[in-house]
Structure 1
C-alpha cells in the first residue's frame, strides 16, 4: 500500500514538471501598444493605415518572432504612407521592447521637406474644349502651383475631368495625358492632365411606358427633349420631378446604350400608379401643447393630374380643418392652380378667433423665385373681453419666396427669403382699408465642419386707416417657439386694460401695427446626431417704430433622426423679470 501510493505521487510530480517545462519552452505571447511621434492629422492617419503592426494592436497572442517580422516592415511602410502626401524623404526611427506583458513599439517620424508642385498643366481639347461645363475643372483649387504634392488631389482632379465629361454627354472622352513626374532630390513635381472630349452625345428616342396620367402632362414632367445635349443631371431631375409629383409609387428613368453612329442615347421611363394615402401624426409644442394630425390624400384624382387633400389638426388651444384641390398648370412639377377651404379655431386667454377661408391661388416659379397670387374670401369671428364681432371680406394676396437652385416642388423646411403682401378695402367687405407686409429672412452659415451660425429675422408693418376696426388675424403678435423664446406664444404686443361689470381688471393682448423679431444662434454638432445651441432672441409687436423690444437668451439641445426631430430650448427673458421658459418641439412622422 505505501509503495503504490508513492508511485502515484511520483507519476503526478512527473506530469507537473512536464507541464512546467512545456510552458517554459513555448513562445511568450503578448499584446502590442504602438506609439507614433512627430506627425499628426492626415499624416498620422495614413501611417496608421499602412502599418502592419497597427492591425495587431489589441491582440494578445503576438510572440517574439511575429513581433520581429512586423517591426522589420515599419520603415518601408511609413515611407510608403507619407509618399502620397508629398513627403518622399522622411526620417524614421523605430524600436520595440517589452513592457510588462505587452510589446511597446515606438515610432518617431520626421517628415522632412515636402515635394511641391512646380508645374501644373490642365487642358481640355476636342469638340467640347470651350464648353462651359468644364469651367469648374479649369478653376479647380485642389491642385495649385506651389502647394504640397498630394496624390489624392491629383487622382481627384483626374477623376473629376472624366466624370464631368461623361455626365454632360462626352461619353467617348479620354485622358490623353495623365502624368505626375516627381524629383525627390529637388523636392519638386510636375503634373500634366489633358482630356480629349470627343463628340458630344445627345438624347435620343424617349420611350415612356405609363397609363397613369395623360401623355401631354407626362411630357411636361420630362426635363429634356430628344435632341438636347445628353446630361445625367437632367435624367436625375426628371426622376425627382416624377417622384415628387406623388402620382406614382415607382419611377424608373433609365439611359440606354449610347449609339456611336448617331451619337445619341435612348431613354426609357416606366412608372406605376400610386394609391390614396392616410397619414397620422402627433407631437408636442410648448405653444400648441399635445397635438395630433389626421390626413387623407389622393395624389391622382384623374388622368389630368388633379390632387385632393384633407387634413385635420387639433391641439389643446387650436383646431384646423384644411382641404385643398390642386390642378397642375405650366410646369406641373412647380406650378399649379389651387382652391383651398379651411377653418381655424384659436383659443387664447383673452381672445378666441374662428376663421373660415376660401382661397383660390396660382403658384408660379421663375428661376429661383416662387410666387403665389391669391384671393381669400374670409369670415372671421372674434370673441374677447372687448366684445364679439364678425367680419366678411375679400383679401387679395401676393407671396414672393426664394427657392433653391434645381427646385422641383419639394417641401422646404426653411427659406432664405419669404415675403407676403396682402390687403383689403371697404368695398371688398373690410371694416377698414389696410395693407399688410411681412418679410422673413433665414440663413444658415457653416463656420466649419462642426460649428454653424443660424440667423433669422421677421419684419412686418401695416398701413391701416382705422386700426381698431382691423380684424384681429391681420394684426401682429410676437413671442413663442419660432419668434422670441422665453415668452409665451403670441404674448408680445400692445395690450388693453379692461374692467368688467364686477370690477375685475384684465389685460388683453390686442396686436400691433408693426413687428420685428431677430435670432442669432450658434450651433455645435456633436456625435450621434446630437447638437447644442446658444441663442439670443429679440423682438416685439408694437404700434410705433422705436418702441421697446424684448430680449431673451438661452441654450438648446438638438436630436436629429430620419423620422423624429426633437428640440429643447431653455430661454430666460433679459428685458423683464420673467422666469426660465422651456420650449419643446417633438414631431414624429407615424
Structure 2
C-alpha cells in the first residue's frame, strides 16, 4: 500500500484542459459572469459542455443585472495540452425600469407596515433593472404577509416585461393579501407552573391581529424567567378556523438546581472565589432562590435571595434577602448582618423599588469598637438606555437614585436620611473615539451629636477602580482622632456624610478588542463643609471580552504631596 501511495504522489499533475480569459467586463458584471461560467473543466467531456454553454451563460449573467444588449465574442485556440478560450464582451447600455406597477389589495392595503415597505421599494423608474433586487423585493412582500398573518396572500401578477430594443422593463407586482388572521386560543401544559402565572408574559391575546414578532417576544419572555430550559411557541396555521390561528406552547422545565464556581481578581478586593447555588423554580408558584458565598481578603460575604413573583414574573417581584459581609472601609473593619425585603417593579426603561432592611453593623479600629442597629425603609428609581451591546455600548445614559431613612421611634439607633445618586454617560464621537463620563453624589442628614454613630456602610468613601483611581479602595474619607489602647492618639479615615465624585475618560479603539484610555477622576468623601478634592489621572489599556472589558489602568494621585503611580485591574461592563 505504501508503495502504491508513493507512486501516485510521484505522478505529474494533470495538465489544465481549458484556460479562460474574460475581457470587457469589470466589477459586478465580471464577478457575475465568472460565477455563471463556473470552474474550468477537468475532463474532455466537461470541456465540450463548457464551450457549448459559455456564450449563453455570459449572456444570462449580464441579463440578470439588466444588460440585455451585450455582444459576446468567443475565440478558441486548441493546443496539444491546454486549449485557450478568450471571451470578449461589449455589455452595451443597460435596460432600466419603465412603468412600475406595485399594488397591495385586501386588508394589507391599510396596514402601515406594508405602506412603509412600498415607500422603501427599490423598483423605481429609470433605475437599472436587476432581477435579484426584484426577486428580493417580491419575497419581502410575501414574507411580510406571512409575518403579519395574511396566510391567504398570493400574487395575482408578478412579472417583468423586458423590451431590449427600447431598453425598458415594465414591472407588474400585484399582491392580494386577503383577510388578516388573528390569534386563536393557546394550549400548553400547566403542570409546570400554576395557571395564570404566565399570563402577563403572553403577548398573543385571542382576537388580536396575528403578528410573528409577538410570538418571538412571548417566547423570549418565557425563556427569561429561568423556569424552562426550552420554550417553543408555534402557530398552527393549517388548523386555522374562522380567521383564528391556534397556538401551541411546548415548555420543557429547567434543571432544578445549578451550582457555579467562579474565581476573579481586582485591585480593589484582591483575589476572590465565589460559589453560587441557584434554584430557578422551587414550586408551581414560580418562587426561586439564589445563594452566593464569596471569599476575598478584603470583603468575604454571603447572601441568600428568595424571589416571589407578584403581578408579573419578570417585572414585579418581591425579594427576601439575608446577608452577612465583612468589609474594610477606610481604617475601619466592619461586620454587617442584614435581613431585608424589596419589591422591584419594571416599567419600560424605568425600574423602581420599595425596600425595608434591618441592619446590624459592628465596626472596630484602634481605639474604636461600636455596634448599632438600623431599620431602614427605602425607595429607589433607575433608568438605563444604551445603543449597541450592553457590555460595550456605543452610547448610553444611566441614572440611579435611592433614599433611605431611619428613626429611633421605628427601631433604629440613629435618626437619619440618606440620599444617593449615580450617573453614567457614554458617547461615541467617531468610529474609534469614545467618551465615558461618571458621577456619584451622596448625602446623609443626621444630628451632629450622632455623627459618630453612623456605621461605615452608611458613610461614604472614595478611591478605587470604580471611584477615584490613583487611590486605594475606599481610602478617601473624613478623618477623626481617637485614643488607642496604648493611650496614644491615632487618626483614622472614618468616611464622610457627603460624597461628590466625577470622572471623564477618553477611549481610542485600536481594533475590535483593544483600546487605550486617558482619564481623570476627582472628588471627595467628606463631612459637610469640609470638601477637599482628590484628583487621580492616568492612562490604561482595555481588552473587550463578551462579559465586559478587562481594564488595566495606571493612575497617579496628583493632589497628594508625594504622588506615586498605582495599578488598577478590573473586569466588567462600564455601564
* TM-score in terms of structure 1 length: 0.73
Write the distance in 2 (CA, Å) between the matches of 1:538 and 1:33.
Answer: 63
- Provide the residue aligned with 2:571 in structure 1: 585
> Displacement of 1:570 after TM fit?
3.6
Report the CA distance between 1:198 and its aligned residue: 0.8
- Pick one of 448, 460, 473 that aligns with 2:457: 473
Counterpart pick for 1:436 among 414, 419, 432:
419
83-92 vs 145-154, which deviates more?
Answer: 83-92
Question: What is the rounded CA distance, in whole Å, between the counterparts of 2:102 and 2:82 in structure 1?
Answer: 52
Q: 1:334 to 1:445 in 2, by over 3 A?
A: farther
Cα deviation, residue 472, structure 1: 3.4
1:116·1:188 contact (CA, 8 Å) conserved in 2?
Answer: yes
Unaligned runs of 5+ in 2: 1-10
**What's the counterpart of residue 424 of structure 1?**
405
In the alignment, does 2:544 pair up with 1:558? yes
Structure 2 CA distance for aligned equivalents of residues 119 and 386 of structure 1: 92
Q: Which moved more, 1:215-224 or 1:142-151?
A: 142-151
Where does structure 1 lack aligned partners over 5 or more consecutive residues?
A: 1-22, 57-61, 406-410
Residue number in structure 2 paired with 1:569: 551
> Which residue in the other structure is 2:438 paired with?
458
Asked if residue 536 in structure 1 is aligned to residue 518 in structure 2, the reply is yes
Q: Give the distance between the partners of 1:120 and 1:478, measured in 2 at CA.
A: 67
Question: What is the deviation of 1:243?
Answer: 2.3
Q: Which residue of 2 aligns with 1:172?
A: 152
**1:515 and 2:496 correspond:** no
Residue 37 of structure 1: how far off its partner (Å):
9.9
Alignment of 1:325 onto 2:306: yes
Structure 2 distance, partners of 1:549, 1:178, is 70
Q: Is the 8 A contact 2:471 2:566 kept in 1?
A: no
1:238 aligns with 2:218: yes
Kept after mapping to 2: 8 A contact 1:368/1:402:
yes
Is contact 1:201–1:230 with CA below 8 Å preserved after alignment?
Answer: yes
Match of 1:276 among 256, 262, 275: 256
Residues in 2 aligned to 1:105 and 1:344: alpha-carbon distance in whole angstroms: 81
Q: Alpha carbons of 1:317 and 1:173: their partners in 2 closer, same or farther (altered >3 Å)?
A: same
Q: Spell out, residue by residue over 1:351-377, the C-alpha distance to the aligned partner (whole angstroms, 9 max, x if none).
A: 433333322111223234332222222
Distance 2:88 2:457 in 1: 72
RMSD, aligned α-carbons: 4.8
How many angstroms does 1:459 deviate by?
2.3
Q: Does structure 2 retain, via aligned residues, the 8 Å contact 1:167–1:231?
A: yes
Deviation at 1:200, TM superposition (A): 1.4
Task: State the distance in 1 between where 2:474 and 2:308 align.
Answer: 39
Q: Deviations over 1:400-439 (max 9, x none)?
A: 344789xxxxx99988434122232444537463342323
Change (3 A) 1:586 1:360: closer
Instruction: Please tell me whether residue 201 in structure 1 is matched to residue 201 in structure 2.
Output: no
2:136 aligns to what SS in structure 1? helix
Please report how far the alpha carbon of residue 126 of structure 1 lies from its aligned counterpart in structure 2 after TM superposition: 0.7
**Which residue of 1 is the match for residue 3 of structure 2?**
none
Structure 2 residue 244 is matched with structure 1 residue 264: yes
Offset, 1:523: 3.8
Instruction: Specify which of 353, 357, 368 is matched with residue 334 of structure 2.
Output: 353
Supply the distance in 2 between the matched residues of 1:239 and 1:552 (Cα, whole angstroms). Answer: 46
Could you tell me how far apart the structure 2 residues matched to 1:264 and 1:500 are? 81
Q: How far apart in 1 are the matches of 2:103 and 2:535?
A: 59
* C-alpha contact 1:258 1:266 (8 A) present in aligned 2: no
Query: CA separation in 2, counterparts of 1:570 and 1:350?
Result: 26
User: How many Å apart are 1:199 and its aligned residue?
Assistant: 0.8
8 Å Cα contact 1:307/1:326 also seen in 2:
yes
Q: 1:474-524 CA deviation, whole Å, 9 max, x = no partner?
A: 45555555556x645645745648698698987848355212234443446
SS of 1:195's equivalent in the other structure is strand
Cα distance between partner residues in 1 of 2:355 and 2:89: 70
TM-score of the aligned structures, taking structure 2 as reference length: 0.75
The number of residues matched between the two structures is 538
The structural deviation recorded for 1:261 is: 4.6
